[in-house]
Structures are given as structure tokens and as C-alpha cells.
A and B are shown apart, each in its own frame.
Chain A
């Protein structure tokens, strides 16, 4: 082996060697999935955000919120990404717990509901603190893991799906036909948002749902479905309701190719930057911002306050342990002010106002 290496040193570099080297460099630079930023203080707990990926605007903003909070308290900050892989998500969290010896605050958006249990159990065993968001099994409760499982935060899709439908109907003048684009059929937020739409439809008999299609949160699919609708229903379409902003923006593009962008109101949900800009341009009628910046920062802040003894989770009421957060409804009326204070400028949040956006205990 050694002889081979020596031999190869005497030989001129071949194309194949360069390729091997390039592959090695590539592999090394791709390998670290743990993106860590070192802070200053060492005795502070390490702050960890575990999210799906940095490739979608939602989680990218989430990560920025986490960074901002970590900076405000001078703690080490680590981002873990699951890339949609539950096993990776759980084992990365176990690794960081081992590395920090349990002196850790974890704010996690579990890849799938069942993942929450092993995560919570691992944190409890090591004496760290954890806040979960969106996904957890219905029978896993923070109060069963006092004080380490601090809180679970979610958002109910029903009232916001309904609010968007109402904003859409208002923009249509209260009557006409709509088409609706849903998310993945078995996905809880998609089901809840659709339920909100159904409620609004039941209350507005002058609005007719022409068709509902599932576009699986995909822009491409939404574009194709909208195109087919334009053939099928033509001018009957008075408005388009979409279960998220990506699909809503794709519907706007389908309308644009048909020369009707801005004439048919479209609503989305999530509050991404391009959607807010589309509202400002008059091409969308509304969206709901979950404020992932708040989720990324405040999830950590709640855990941090518990870890540093500012409050005792065991003494908090249940609606502080499992609660719905508050979304921001954005329509043409407030789009400009939302844009100025949340998108153009880095949002300024009071990280100590930990229960400021509680809007009720989660119902199962």
C-alpha cells in the first residue's frame, strides 16, 4: 500500500487522480449536515433548531429567527436538518445531546408525529429542555415529562383556511364560482385548511365550489391543474383558493399565461415573501403568515427561559404547554405595513414575551 502511494507520487498526475481528489473534496464538503455557528458563552445551554431543510423559505426563515434569539442571549446555536428523514432527525438530536452532555435547549419541528416521542424521551433522560412544534402524537403531553418537555406549539388550519376563503369571497364580491387547490391529501394542515374552506362555503351559499383538486403542495402540479380548469370552466372561475402560497403563486402564473392575472383573485396560506409581494401587486387577495421567524426564535426562548430557571414548566397551566400560536392575516389592507416591518427589515420581536401569541389550548 505504502509502496503504491510512493509509486503514484512519482507518476505524473492523471485525469483519474484529479477526479478522485475532486470527488473526495466534494464528499467532505457535502458531508457535514450539522451547520453550527459558535457563540461566545460556554455555560449557557446550547440552542438547537431541528427542522426539515434549509431549502424552503419557511424553514430558512425559521432558522433566522433561531439565530437572532441565540445572538440576543449569547448562546451557541446549532441547526439540524432532517431532509425529510425521521431517523436522521432523531439520531442527530441524540448526537447533539451527547455532545453537550444534556446542557441543551431543542426546538424541533419533528419530521413526522411519531418522531416526537423518542426525541422527548432522549431529552428527558439527559436533563435537557425541548419544545416541539406542529407534529406530535395526540397522547404525548408535555405535562407527562415535567419539567423537560416544556411546550408544544401548533397552528390550527381551520380558522385560517376559513379566513382566507372569506377574504377570497369578499374580493369576488360575494358570489361566483371558485376552484380550490389542496395540499397532500393525508397531511393534517392540508385537511384542516380544507375544513376551513368547507365551513366558509357552507356559510356562503352564493359561492359555488366548481372543483377541488389536490396539488400536493407542488407549484408544478398546481400550475397544471389550474391550466386544466381554465379549459374546463373558463370564465366561470371567479376566484382560486390554494392551501399554500407556492400553489397560489403557480395559479397566478397560469392566469398570467392566460392574460387574466390580477383579474381573478387568488389566496394562499404561509405568508412567504413572494406572496406578500403578489398581494401588493394586486395579483393575490390574501395569505396568512405563521411567522416562522417567531417559531424559530420563540420556541428556543420558551425552552431557554425554562432551562435558566425563569419559570417552572410544571407550574404553568395546560394552555401554556400545548397551545395554538397566532397567525397574521394579510390582505391588501395591511400588506404594505407587514412588508415594511417583517420583510424589508429584520422583524423585531420581544423574545421575553413568551406567551404573547397563545391562542388557546390544542384540541384533539
Chain B
């Protein structure tokens, strides 16, 4: 793209990045301040408003929605999409897409179920299995990133491939059966609750992941570079950002988050099977986009994904509470996606919509 026709947003991100690179540590903190005024636009608060309205409507129809027990259940339902969404957000921020999520999640859940105390073999690695599973997730993510960058294969195709390979390997490992997890500590993630507030430990794990993602996004070079790539990769690369390395690292990071999602999913259902990831991709991408992260990259962030996840989860919880017939529910979900995205888009910067 010749600079003369470059949209202003890209040009601006580019300038921002150049200062950032020249003085990385300091300006990484300073950058958000500079754009603080923009952040208060109504549009970027649209997801929060949608969430609040949604809660109000559901609570008006069924006051049980506001009970503590239901908060716990919503948190429980949100923990897995949140962790998956964190990983996916980094990829989407770069303007790429990662479809391998279900593959990595399935593979992680299956490997976890095979390594801890289980009903199928004699392994009993306990918590040691968790780092192994995280490494597997990082490995798949690394492969994604490397093939994508080095062989210049579009991320859509690479990750579509690794999605199927992941599910395929999981299949090969357990041959279509389900393995019950008997390890008390792993199950405790879903069942045991903290003594103070009373949330399951898995929810706290997901929140910890959220904080880590927030720090990576806002206070590390990787996080700021990811925004830069999403805003305009050619310019970012010209200003000296190691685009290839950033992409590989981002995919690796996403793989780790998906692996955490796999651990939580296995803990929640108490088993590992090769269908455990089914339907997660759709929910996750929906949550990220509904939160206001643009599929074109450069806009949004993990904090918005948190809101997006809550909208999706509260809506599906609320539709049952409000007694909406099953045949209507899927349609309402579709409607919600369109409304939320339409509300949160920043049309001023847009010239072309594809």
C-alpha cells in the first residue's frame, strides 16, 4: 500500500510505534494515556452498556438471576471462554485468526486426562501434568506461528490444519473413548471453592490468566508490538519491529491460553474425550468480537474480551432463566452478535467494509 492512500489510523499507529520502539519501556506505559480521551468514546463502552442492559432485563423477568448461586454459575460458565478468548484476542488484534483453538483444547484435555490419575492407565503425575500440557499448547502455537510466518501461509489455513491435526492426534491417543479423571486436585478446579467468596478455584485461575494477559497487552513490548502489527504491519516492520518474531510469539502465547482452557474443560467435565472442544471456537470468536475487538486488527483488547465473554455467557444463562424456547435461542444469539458489533464499531475511521 503506498503511503499516500494509507488510512489515518494506520499512519497514526505507525507513528506511535516508532516512538515506542525508540524508547520502549517508558512509552509503553505512556501510550494509553495519550489516547485516553479517545477511549471514552461512547462506542467503546457499548459492550458494557449491552451487558448491563442484558442483566437488568433478565433480572426483571427472573430475580433468581441476581442470586449469589447464579453468579457462581455464570463465573463457572465464563471461565473457559474467557481463557480461550484471551488467547484469541492477541491473534485477532494482529488482524490474523486462529482456528486451532478447538484442536489445542482437545489435545490438552486428552493429554491431561491421560497423565493424571485416571480410569484408563496407571499414570499419576498429579500437578506435574499441567506444565507438560502447557508446553504442548505452546508447541502447537509455535508450529502455527512458524508455518504462518516462515512459509507465508495465511493464518486461517495453517490453524485450520492444526485444528484437525490436534483433534486427530487426540483421537489417535484415546481411540474414541472417554477417559475419566480421578485426580482430586484437577477436579478441585471445578468443584472446590475458595473459602472467602465461594468461587470455584478454576474461576480464580481464569482471572489470574486475565491479569497476566492484561499485563502482557499493556506493559510488555510483545503486547504493544501486537497492536502495532494489527494497525499496519508494513509500517510497523519498516520502523524496525521484528514482525515475524512477534507473530510467532503471539501464536505460541495463544496456544498456552488454549491449553489452560483444555485443563479447565477437562476439570469441569471430569473427563477427556476428543469431542470436548466441540463448538468452543464459535463461542470464543463471538465473545471476542462482541467485546469490541475488530477482526481487522489493531482495535480492542483483552479487557474488552472479558466483557464480550460475559455478554455471551449471561445471554445463554438468561435465555434459560427467561424461559425462551430452544428454537428461538440460537436466533437470539445471532441477533446479539450483529447488534453488539454494530454498536461498538468505530465508523469514522472506516472507508471500506469487506
Interface residues of A (CB under 8 A from B): 15-16, 19-20, 23, 26, 30, 53-57, 59-60, 182, 185, 211-214, 216, 218-221, 223-225, 227-232, 234, 246, 249-250, 253, 256-258, 272-274, 277
Contact = CB atoms under 8 A, between A and B. Distances in A.
A249 B270 CA distance: 9
B268 A223 contact: yes
Closest 6 CB pairs of A and B: A60-B176, A228-B320, A214-B326, A231-B70, A55-B274, A227-B73
B69 interface: yes
Given A211-B320, A229-B320, 18 more contacts: A20-B151, A55-B167, A56-B275, A57-B177, A213-B326, A220-B278, A224-B316, A227-B317, A228-B316, A232-B62, A253-B268, A253-B269, A257-B200, A258-B69, A272-B178, A274-B178, A274-B271, A277-B180
A15 B151 CA distance: 11
A16 to B, nearest CB: 5
Given A19-B146, A56-B176, A182-B326, A232 B276 contact: no
Nearest to A229: B320
B326 to A, nearest CB: 4
Given A257-B200, A274-B180, A231 B321 contact: yes
A60 B326 contact: no
Contacts of B323: 211
Nearest to A254: B73
B140 to A, nearest CB: 12
B176 A55 contact: yes
B171 A54 contact: yes
B225 to A, nearest CB: 22
- Chain B: interface secondary structure? helix
A212 B324 CA distance: 11
Interface string B101-119: 0000000000000000001
A219 B73 contact: no
A221 B320 contact: no
Contact of A250 (B64, B150, B269): B269
Contacts of A54: 171, 175-176
A232 B64 CA distance: 6
Contacts of B178: 57, 272-274
27 contacts: A15-B150, A16-B151, A23-B151, A30-B168, A53-B171, A54-B171, A54-B175, A55-B275, A57-B177, A60-B175, A60-B176, A60-B177, A212-B326, A213-B326, A216-B279, A218-B278, A220-B276, A227-B76, A228-B73, A228-B316, A231-B65, A231-B70, A232-B62, A234-B64, A253-B268, A253-B269, A274-B180
A182 B329 CA distance: 14
A275 to B, nearest CB: 10
A301 to B, nearest CB: 22
Contacts of B147: 19, 23
B132 interface: no
Interface in B250-300: 265, 268-271, 273-276, 278-280
A307 B322 CA distance: 58
B190 interface: yes
Given A59-B176, A220-B279, A256-B191, A231 B269 contact: no
A228 B119 CA distance: 30
B320 A225 contact: yes
A216 B283 CA distance: 15
Interface string B51-75: 0000000000010110101100100
B176 A231 contact: no
Nearest to A58: B176
A230 B320 contact: no
Contact of A257 (B76, B150, B164, B279): B76
B280 A220 contact: yes
Given A211-B323, A232-B64, A253-B268, A219 B275 contact: yes
A70 B309 CA distance: 50
- Chain A: interface secondary structure? helix
B165 interface: yes
A57 B164 CA distance: 18
B151 A231 contact: no
Contacts of A224: 77, 316-317
Contact of B320 (A232, A249, A272): A232
B326 A230 contact: no
Contacts of B151: 16, 19-20, 23
Contacts of A20: 151
A140 B69 CA distance: 53
A231 B58 CA distance: 13
A213 B73 CA distance: 18
A346 to B, nearest CB: 14
B327 interface: yes
A212 B323 CA distance: 10
B252 to A, nearest CB: 15
Interface string B73-102: 100110000000000000000000000000
A218 B278 CA distance: 8
Interface string B142-153: 000011001100
Contacts of A257: 76, 190-191, 200, 268
Contacts of A277: 119, 180
Contacts of A23: 147, 151
A174 to B, nearest CB: 26
Contacts of B327: 185, 214
A229 to B, nearest CB: 7
Contacts of B280: 220
Contacts of B164: 30
B334 to A, nearest CB: 15
A224 B321 CA distance: 12
Interface in B296-347: 316-317, 320-321, 323, 326-327
A26 B165 contact: yes
Contacts of A182: 326
A253 B119 CA distance: 17
Given A30-B168, A55-B171, A230 B271 contact: no
Nearest to B158: A23
Nearest to A56: B176
Contacts of B168: 30
Contacts of B316: 224, 228
A230 B278 contact: no
A252 B165 CA distance: 31
A226 B275 CA distance: 19
A230 B177 contact: no
Contacts of A274: 178, 180, 271
